[in-house]
C-alpha cells in the first residue's frame, strides 16, 4: 500500500493504531496533534501540529486516534471537511463478517469479532476481544471496552449526539 496515513493523536491509542496500520501495509507519514510540544509515541515518526497540516494529496488518509468520543467526533468532522479520507482500521486477528458494515474511522482491535449484518458506525472503537453478535448496531463514536459482549440485535447508542 502506498497511501500515506496520518494519525491524529500522540497517546497510547495512537501508538496502538500505528502498530495496526503498519502491520496492514500502511505508510504512516506522521502523527498530528493540537498540543504544542507533543511527542511521537513511536521514535522516528514526525509530529505535525494540526494547524500546519497541508491539504491531503489524492490518496492521503487520516485516522483520528483519540479516546474521548466528543474530541474524536470534532476532529473527524474537521478532517472530513478538509477532504481527508477516514478509513476504518482492522487488526489482522479480528474477524469481520462479509456482510458487516464498518463506517469511516472505526477501529477494530486484536481478537475482536463483528458478526453477520452488524453495523459499526462512524468513529467507534471495538477494542481487544470484543464480540459484536449478529445484527447489532454500535452507535457512532462508541468505545466498547476490552472483552465486552454485545448479544444478538443489541443497539448501543452513540455517546455523542
The tens digit of pLDDT for each residue in 86-113 reads 999 999 999 999 999 999 999 999 999 9
Would you list the DSSP string of 60-100? Answer: -EEEE--SSHHHHHHHHHHHHHTT-B---EE-TT-EE-TT-
**Claim to verify: residue 58 and residue 32 sit in the same structural domain:** yes
Asked if 80 and 93 sit in the same domain, the reply is no
CATH of the domain at 76: 3.40.50.20
At 161 the pLDDT is: 72
Q: Within 13 Å and on the Cβ side, how many CA atoms surround 126? A: 39
Please tell me whether residues 80 and 13 are part of one structural domain: yes
Give residue 2's pLDDT. Answer: 59
pLDDT single digits (tens) 41-50: 999 999 999 9
User: Based on the domain organization, do 24 and 92 belong to the same domain?
Assistant: no
**Residue 133 sits in the same domain as residue 72:** no
Q: Give the rounded percent of residues in the chain with a pLDDT score beyond 70.
A: 99
Distance of CA 42 to the CA centre of its chain: 17
At residue 3, the pLDDT reads: 84
Per-residue pLDDT, averaged over 54-70, amounts to 95
Burial category of 19 from C-beta neighbours within 10 Å (exposed 0-12, middle 13-18, buried 19 and up): middle
Task: Give the count of domains, the chain.
Answer: 2
Name the pTM for this structure: 0.95
pLDDT at 1 exceeding the cut of 60: no
At 121-150, the pLDDT tens digits run 999 999 999 999 999 999 999 999 999 999
56 with 115, same domain: the answer is no
The residue out of 87, 102, 125 marking a domain boundary is 87
C-alpha cell, 50: 494540526
Domain finish residue from 34, 67, 87? 87
Structural domain for 68, as ranges: 4-87
Distance CA 45, CA 21 (A): 13
Same domain, 79 and 104: no
Amino acid at each position: 500500500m502506498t497511501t500515506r496515513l496520518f494519525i491524529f493523536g500522540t497517546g497510547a491509542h495512537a501508538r496502538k493504531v500505528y502498530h495496526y496500520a503498519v502491520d496492514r501495509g500502511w505508510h504512516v507519514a506522521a502523527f498530528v496533534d493540537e498540543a504544542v510540544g507533543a511527542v511521537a509515541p513511536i521514535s522516528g515518526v514526525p509530529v505535525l501540529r494540526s494547524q500546519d497540516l497541508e491539504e491531503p494529496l489524492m490518496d492521503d488518509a487520516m485516522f483520528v486516534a483519540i479516546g474521548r468520543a466528543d474530541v474524536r467526533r470534532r476532529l473527524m468532522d474537521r478532517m472530513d471537511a478538509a477532504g481527508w479520507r477516514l478509513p476504518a482500521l482492522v487488526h489482522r486477528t479480528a474477524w469481520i463478517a462479509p456482510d458487516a458494515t464498518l463506517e469511516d474511522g472505526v477501529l477494530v482491535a486484536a481478537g475482536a469479532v463483528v458478526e453477520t449484518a452488524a453495523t459499526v458506525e462512524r468513529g467507534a472503537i471495538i477494542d481487544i476481544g470484543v464480540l459484536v453478535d449478529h445484527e447489532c448496531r454500535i452507535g457512532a463514536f462508541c468505545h466498547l471496552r476490552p472483552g465486552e459482549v454485545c448479544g444478538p440485535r443489541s443497539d448501543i447508542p452513540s455517546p455523542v449526539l
